[in-house]
């Protein structure tokens, strides 16, 4: 145990010592440049600098070997760093030997050795940095003007439905695979913990359960990834640690029950997690109005021309949304207009038919507009019973009935359209007392009696 403690103590000098050979080697290579020779600047202590480069690289490699004994490093990443470090020690020693006066070697060999030392210095430094900070530590913050395109770290789910996303498989497991499985797999299960399969995760390790349903504080993995990096039990001990957002995601999954098969639509999504999913995964979990959910090809130009000829003024909701906002401009709704409405029914979402003498049969056609969300029927001589066909409009949110002949029976019709959010009833046969009496039956609907 004492031997292990001493190894850990001296091993931690490695990050300090590695800077010494870097400085000495670069200084030695600089003094070997032709410019110094041409200037007659030939330092007698050049062989001393090479000796210091060799001896500092040797002790740096030795401390690195002691540090590796803690078992925290992945062999596949550690081995290249170790071997290239040993080679750097060898060629640094050779650089010192070649400059001893008793040994005369052609300058060609010296130049080759210098190039090898420089190459190894860069390679060892890169491998060491990758081992400590992750393989992308050099390129992670590369400016956009240098890279041809900026890659998104996480898989994007913009086109996925919530019920098709399994929270563990799509969010949590990729994090474990990236940061934990290298040390906790079928071949290497440090602490008795194997995170490569759901079955092995459920077994936990010698120190406890990997995840405890609804209890992050008792979940071994969560505790280890949220420790301070100064804590010897902090995980992962090398490479890129879990970010704040990743820890937040794991915590949320545990608090929601740590279920391995539930899809996202079965989870309660807090505003914090909603923001996280949007930012990190391009996933917008906010409740969207129906008009944003409908996907249609653009309306052909011929349809626009036909609608305009039938006395409709129209516009699309946005440049990327082909759904139509239609307003009839004629005095009486024509059969041609009704036929066109039926033909292009999926595209009509806002419809204004105010003061155009619509009839009961006209409303039967309007009831076929499956994507209708706003309907203005004001200033028409329609009665309560005429509205009965509208109960098929499952996405209707706004219904304007002001200045019509509807009476108190209209509330039975309105109950059959649960999607309603606003109903305009002023200047109708519905009294204020009747509206106030029925208001509790419509907690999600605003009954408007005056403008």
Domain end call among 236, 261, 281:
281
Please state, in angstroms and rounded to a whole number, the distance separating the CA atoms of residues 409 and 383.
10
CATH value at residue 416? 3.80.10.10
Domain end call among 281, 311, 341:
281
Together in a domain, 172 and 116: no
The pLDDT value given to residue 148: 40
Residue 62 lies in a domain: yes
Residue 155 lies in a domain: no
Together in a domain, 276 and 297: no
Residue 239 lies in a domain: yes
The pLDDT value given to residue 34: 64
Domain count, the chain: 3
Three-class secondary structure of residue 419 per DSSP? coil
Largest CA distance in the chain: 117
Report CA torsion sign: 344, 350, 355, 361: positive
Together in a domain, 14 and 38: yes
Q: If you search the block for the tokens 């949304």, which residue do you land on?
A: 321
Q: Find the helix or strand (DSSP H, E) in which 93 lies.
A: helix 75-97
Residue 119 lies in a domain: yes
Q: Which domain holds residue 190?
A: 162-281
Together in a domain, 124 and 170: no
Which has the closest alpha carbon to 253: 228, 221, 278? 221
Give the alpha-carbon dihedral of 82, 88, 93, 97, to 10 degrees.
150
Which has the closest alpha carbon to 28: 91, 83, 82? 91
Three-class secondary structure of residue 233 per DSSP? coil
Domain end call among 281, 305, 337:
281
Strands 312-318 vs 321-328: parallel, antiparallel or unpaired = antiparallel
The pLDDT value given to residue 338: 95
The pLDDT value given to residue 230: 75
Give the alpha-carbon dihedral of 314, 319, 321, 324, to 10 degrees.
0
Residue burial 429-443, b: 16+ Cβ < 10 Å; e: rest = ebeeebbeebeeebe
Residue 157 lies in a domain: no
pLDDT in tens, the chain (451 residues): 445 455 555 555 666 677 777 887 887 787 777 655 555 445 456 778 888 888 888 888 888 777 766 655 666 667 787 888 888 889 888 888 887 765 666 777 788 888 888 888 888 887 777 766 655 555 555 544 444 433 435 567 767 778 889 999 999 999 999 888 888 888 888 888 999 999 999 999 888 899 999 999 999 999 999 988 778 788 887 778 898 999 999 999 999 999 999 999 899 998 899 989 988 888 888 777 888 788 899 999 999 999 999 999 999 988 888 999 999 999 999 999 999 999 999 999 999 999 999 999 999 999 999 999 999 999 999 999 999 999 999 999 999 999 999 999 999 999 999 999 999 999 999 998 999 999 999 999 999 886 5
Together in a domain, 319 and 271: no
Strands 348-352 vs 321-328: parallel, antiparallel or unpaired = parallel
Burial class of residue 364 in the structure, from the number of CB atoms within 10 Å of its CB (0-12 exposed, 13-18 middle, 19+ buried): middle
Together in a domain, 277 and 309: no
Together in a domain, 440 and 303: yes
Together in a domain, 126 and 55: yes
Q: In this structure, are residues 425 and 401 in contact, taking their beta carbons and an 8 Å threshold?
A: yes
Residue 369 lies in a domain: yes
DSSP 128-191: HHHHHH-TTTTTTT--TTTSSSPPPSSPP-TT--GGG-BHIIIIIHHHHHHHTTTTBSSS-BGG
Together in a domain, 227 and 328: no
Together in a domain, 436 and 337: yes
Together in a domain, 64 and 108: yes
Residue 255 lies in a domain: yes
Structure-block tokens of residue 52: 């210091």
Tell me the β-bridge partners of 318.
Answer: 321
Residue 110 lies in a domain: yes
The pLDDT value given to residue 351: 97
The pLDDT value given to residue 152: 39
Together in a domain, 403 and 345: yes
């Amino acid at each position: 145990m004492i031997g292990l403690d001493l190894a850990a103590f001296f091993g931690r000098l490695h990050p300090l010592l590695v800077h010494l050979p870097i400085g000495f080697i670069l200084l030695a290579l600089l003094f070997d440049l032709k410019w110094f020779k041409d200037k007659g600047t030939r330092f007698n202590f050049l062989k001393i600098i090479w000796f210091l480069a060799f001896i500092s690289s040797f002790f740096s490699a030795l401390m690195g070997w002691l540090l590796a004994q803690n078992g925290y490093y992945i062999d596949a990443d550690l081995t290249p760093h170790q071997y290239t470090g040993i080679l750097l020690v060898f060629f640094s020693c050779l650089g010192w030997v070649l400059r001893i006066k008793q040994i005369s070697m052609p300058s060609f060999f010296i130049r080759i050795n210098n190039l090898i030392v420089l190459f190894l210095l860069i390679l060892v430094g890169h491998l060491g940095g990758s081992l400590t900070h992750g393989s992308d530590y050099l390129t992670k913050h590369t400016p956009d003007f240098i890279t041809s395109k900026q890659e998104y770290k996480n898989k994007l789910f913009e086109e996925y439905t919530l019920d098709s996303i399994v929270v563990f498989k799509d969010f949590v497991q990729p994090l474990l695979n990236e940061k934990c499985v290298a040390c906790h797999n079928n071949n290497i299960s440090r602490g008795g913990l194997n995170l490569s399969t759901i079955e092995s995760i459920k077994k936990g390790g010698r120190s406890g359960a990997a995840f405890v349903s609804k209890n992050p504080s008792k979940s071994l993995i969560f505790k280890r990834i949220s420790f301070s990096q100064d804590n010897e039990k902090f995980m992962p001990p090398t490479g890129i640690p879990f970010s704040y957002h990743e820890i937040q995601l794991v915590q949320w999954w545990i608090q929601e029950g740590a279920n391995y098969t539930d899809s996202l639509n079965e989870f309660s999504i807090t505003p914090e997690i909603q923001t996280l999913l949007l930012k990190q995964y391009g996933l917008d979990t906010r409740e969207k109005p129906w008009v944003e959910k409908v996907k249609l090809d653009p309306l052909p130009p011929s349809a626009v021309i036909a609608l305009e000829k039938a006395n409709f003024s129209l516009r699309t909701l946005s440049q990327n949304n082909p759904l139509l906002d239609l307003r009839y401009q004629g005095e009486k709704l024509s059969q041609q207009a009704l036929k066109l409405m039926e033909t292009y029914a999926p595209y009509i979402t806002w419809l204004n038919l105010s003061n155009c003498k619509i009839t009961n049969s006209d409303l039967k056609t309007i009831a076929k507009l499956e994507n209708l969300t706003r309907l203005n029927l004001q200033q028409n001589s329609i009665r309560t019973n005429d509205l009965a066909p509208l109960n098929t409009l499952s996405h209707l949110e706004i219904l304007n009935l002001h200045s019509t002949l509807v009476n108190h029976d209209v509330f039975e019709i309105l109950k059959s359209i649960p999607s309603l959010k606003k109903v305009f009833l002023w200047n109708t046969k519905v009294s204020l007392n009747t509206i106030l009496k029925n208001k509790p039956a419509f907690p999600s609907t605003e009954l408007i009696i005056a403008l």
